[in-house]
Structures are given as C-alpha cells and as structure tokens.
Structure 1
C-alpha cells in the first residue's frame, strides 16, 4: 500500500464532502415532506386513496436507484417538449437530476416507513383524542404523527444511512462528490486500492456520526416521554415504610 497516495487521497477527497452532504440531506428533507401526506394515504383503508400511493412506492422501491437516475438524467432530458420548456433549465443540470431521483426514491421508502409507524399507533389513544372533541386533522397532527415518528425512527435511520451511501451514484452523471473525486483521483494515480479505502473510511465515519445523532435523539425522546414527579425527576419515588414502635 502506497502511504503517499493514501495521504493525498485523505487530503483530496474531503473536497467532495459538501456536495455529498448537500445532496443527501436535501433529498432526505424533500422526500420526507412528500412522504408525510403519502403515508397517511397509504395507511388509509380506502383503496382509492392507498392504491396510487402503493403503485408509486412499489415502482420506486422495486427498481434500482441507478436505473431511476439514468432515466431522469439521460431519458427525460431527451424529450423534445422538455428541451423546449422551462424544465430544461433544471433537467440539464446533473445536480438537479440527481436531487429529483434521490428525492423520489427516498420519498417512496420513507412513505412505507411512516405508514408502518402510523398503523402501529395504539387505537385507544386515537379514540381518546376523538372523545375530547379533536377534529380528524388535529388527531393526525397532534396525536398520530408525533407517535408515528417515534415508532418509525429506528427504521428511518436505515433510510438516512442508505441515502448517504446511495449518493455515491451521483458520480455516474459527472458530479464530483466523494466517489466522483475518488474516481478522478484513481484515473490520475492508477491506485484504486489506496484511494477507495480512504473513500470508504469517509463514508464509514459519516455513518457512525449519523447513527450516533439518532441514538441521542431517540434517548432524548425516551426520557421526555417518561412521567415526572413533583420534583421534576423521571424516576419513580418508592413509598417509605410506615414507622412502627416496638411495644415496651
């Protein structure tokens, strides 16, 4: 192993870190916003509501993300009406094509994750909220959605980590994120072993950081959900035993 090339890669590859993080978390944020209403439709017992969402999630979860990326970047941009419309200003940019592909894919996966959380919310809490006079919208916003997020959080962590690793596919459409710069460096040094070990280490470090953040968030929600006593402590206070006196 050439240490000099590995050190060069260690200094060069972080240049693509900003693009990797921007593409990953922008896609996750947009996908999450799209997935929230879709998740409620997907959890609906009405077939007219959940059937179109099921078809969308099935298509995007059942086909490779790389194929979706190529269809958007190489396919849609070749349509004449796209080239002659305002959409061409977006579709000709590799970043926006990757963003659209990643967002649609992430929204499909997140929809199913949230749907599982929504259907796991105890029915008794929903009935209690309705008994208090809350409207259907308020029940979904104040009761169902917060509980569904807490339930679905461990599964959503996998989606975040998966999207981080999937962002490496953006290098196939000329974007110079971490993997794109690594491929460029390999073409210059002819040392794929050293370069991709450093690239993999960067992804591993990012994965560990993301996992740690979600563990802290999950622990915070768990502490906040515990009942507190009058002193503000979440620990239950044991009752003191009655004092007894021995007969003289």
Structure 2
C-alpha cells in the first residue's frame, strides 16, 4: 500500500467525514421524532389512521434506499411548479437536501416499526396499573407506554443507527462528497482503490465502534434495575 496517498488526501477524507457527520445525525433525529407518531398510528384500530402509516412504512422498508434516493433526486424536479418553488427556497435544488430527505424518510419507516413492536409488547400489568391510578389514554401513552417501549427498543434501534451510517455512503451517488465520495475521488486521482476505500472503511469502522460503545452506555444506564436483578439471581444461585 502507498501510505503517501492516504496522508496527502486526509483533508479530503475529513471533509467527507464532516458531511457524513451532518447527514446521519440530522436524519436520525428527525426520523426519531417522526417515528413516534407513525408508530402510534400503526397501533390504531382505525383503518383511516392505520393504513396510511402502514403504506408509508411498507413502501420505504420494501424498496432499496438507493431507489428512493434516485426517485427524490431525479424525479421530484419533474413535478409541476417545483422549479418556481426552488426560486423561493434555494436549498430545495441541492443534492444535500434530497439526501437528507431520503435518509429521513427511510429511517422514519424502520424506526417506526421498531417502536411499534416495542409499544405492542408493553406488559399488560403496567397498563392496568396506570388505569387504576386514573390515568387517561394519552397520559398512559406519554408516561408509561412510550418510555417503556423506548427502553426495550434500544438494542434494535442501535442497529438501525449503524445501518443508517453505512447507508449514508449512497450520498456519493448524487454528487455529494461524503466519506465514500472522498474515497471515489482519491481512487480516480491515483488509481489506488485499496488505499482509497480501505481508508474510508477505517473511518466507518471507528464511527461504528463509537456508536456501539455509546449505545452500550445508554442501555446500561436505562437497564440498571435489570442488571441488579440479574446480580441478585446469580448470588442466590451461587
């Protein structure tokens, strides 16, 4: 391997890292906030509420992220009146906006299904206890169901966050210079695919490690009561 290629192009990789570090957190935060109401809609028995949410999650979970990205980036511009809209809002015609929109919609669909499953598994006793305390449906949802579901959903949601990080590499297909885009530029400059993409892989590996470590800390914090119970059981058995 020619390490001089890597050293010379490190500034470009850090620029790509900065773009990746913008796209992924922004899309995840927006997707997290949007996924909670979508998950609640999915649990509704009213078909007028449930079916639109089901159609949304089914479409974005049933089609590749790359297809969704191209549909938005190349297809939205053909809609009537869109060119006039971009004159008022200049950011709407940039690749960054469409990448963020595609990632946001995709992660919203997956996260909503994760939260829906976690909410559906809320212990019946917790709901009954809340009703016995005189809580309304919305109060039970806000103070019992959602907090309890979010704790149970952490392991599955951590996987979604990592998948979103890896999926963000597709941003390079619509001209954005993220980590993968930086690797493609380096490869085209030096015809050194190993150096170019191994360096990008190292960056992704480190980011993934940091995410796994952060989620372990969060899980450990929110599951302290479970850890104490396991320690008590072990002490009794031994």
Is the pair's TM-score, using the shorter chain for normalization, greater than 0.5? yes
- Map of 1:121 onto structure 2: 122
- Map of 1:2 onto structure 2: 2
**In the TM superposition, what is the alpha-carbon distance from 1:225 to its structure 2 partner?**
6.4
Give me the whole-angstrom Cα distance separating, in 2, the residues matched to 1:65 and 1:152. Answer: 22
- Map of 2:12 onto structure 1: 12
- Map of 2:180 onto structure 1: 179
Is 1:138 the equivalent of 2:136? no
Corresponding residue SS for 1:198:
helix
Give me the whole-angstrom Cα distance separating, in 2, the residues matched to 1:83 and 1:11. Answer: 35
> Please, what TM-score do these two structures have when normalized by structure 2?
0.91
**In the TM superposition, what is the alpha-carbon distance from 1:127 to its structure 2 partner?**
1.3
Number of equivalent positions: 232
- Map of 2:64 onto structure 1: 64
Q: What 5-or-longer segments of structure 2 have no aligned partner?
A: none
Give me the whole-angstrom Cα distance separating, in 2, the residues matched to 1:190 and 1:98. Answer: 27
Of the structure 1 ranges 12-21 and 183-192, higher mean CA displacement relative to structure 2 is found in: 12-21
Corresponding residue SS for 2:81:
helix
Give me the whole-angstrom Cα distance separating, in 2, the residues matched to 1:196 and 1:9. Answer: 12
**In the TM superposition, what is the alpha-carbon distance from 1:227 to its structure 2 partner?**
7.9
Of the structure 1 ranges 38-47 and 67-76, higher mean CA displacement relative to structure 2 is found in: 38-47
Name the CA shift for 1:22/1:224 in 2 (closer, same or farther; >3 Å): farther
Name the CA shift for 1:197/1:69 in 2 (closer, same or farther; >3 Å): same
**In the TM superposition, what is the alpha-carbon distance from 1:77 to its structure 2 partner?**
1.3
- Map of 1:191 onto structure 2: 192
- Map of 1:106 onto structure 2: 107
Give me the whole-angstrom Cα distance separating, in 1, the residues matched to 2:143 and 2:227. Answer: 18
- Map of 2:211 onto structure 1: 210
- Map of 2:35 onto structure 1: 35
> Please, what TM-score do these two structures have when normalized by structure 1?
0.87
Give CA deviations for 1:36-72 in whole Å, capped at 9, x if unaligned. 0110111223333211111110100010111111111
Give me the whole-angstrom Cα distance separating, in 2, the residues matched to 1:89 and 1:5. Answer: 37
Name the CA shift for 1:80/1:47 in 2 (closer, same or farther; >3 Å): closer
Corresponding residue SS for 2:85:
coil
Name the CA shift for 1:168/1:177 in 2 (closer, same or farther; >3 Å): same
Give me the whole-angstrom Cα distance separating, in 1, the residues matched to 2:136 and 2:164. Answer: 36
Question: Any conservation in 2 of the 1:9–1:195 contact (CA below 8 Å)?
Answer: no
**In the TM superposition, what is the alpha-carbon distance from 1:6 to its structure 2 partner?**
3.1
Question: Any conservation in 2 of the 1:117–1:152 contact (CA below 8 Å)?
Answer: yes
Compute the RMSD of aligned alpha carbons.
2.0
Give me the whole-angstrom Cα distance separating, in 2, the residues matched to 1:89 and 1:42. Answer: 35
Question: Any conservation in 2 of the 1:157–1:214 contact (CA below 8 Å)?
Answer: yes
Q: What 5-or-longer segments of structure 1 have no aligned partner?
A: 229-233, 239-248
Corresponding residue SS for 1:80:
coil
Give me the whole-angstrom Cα distance separating, in 2, the residues matched to 1:49 and 1:10. Answer: 50
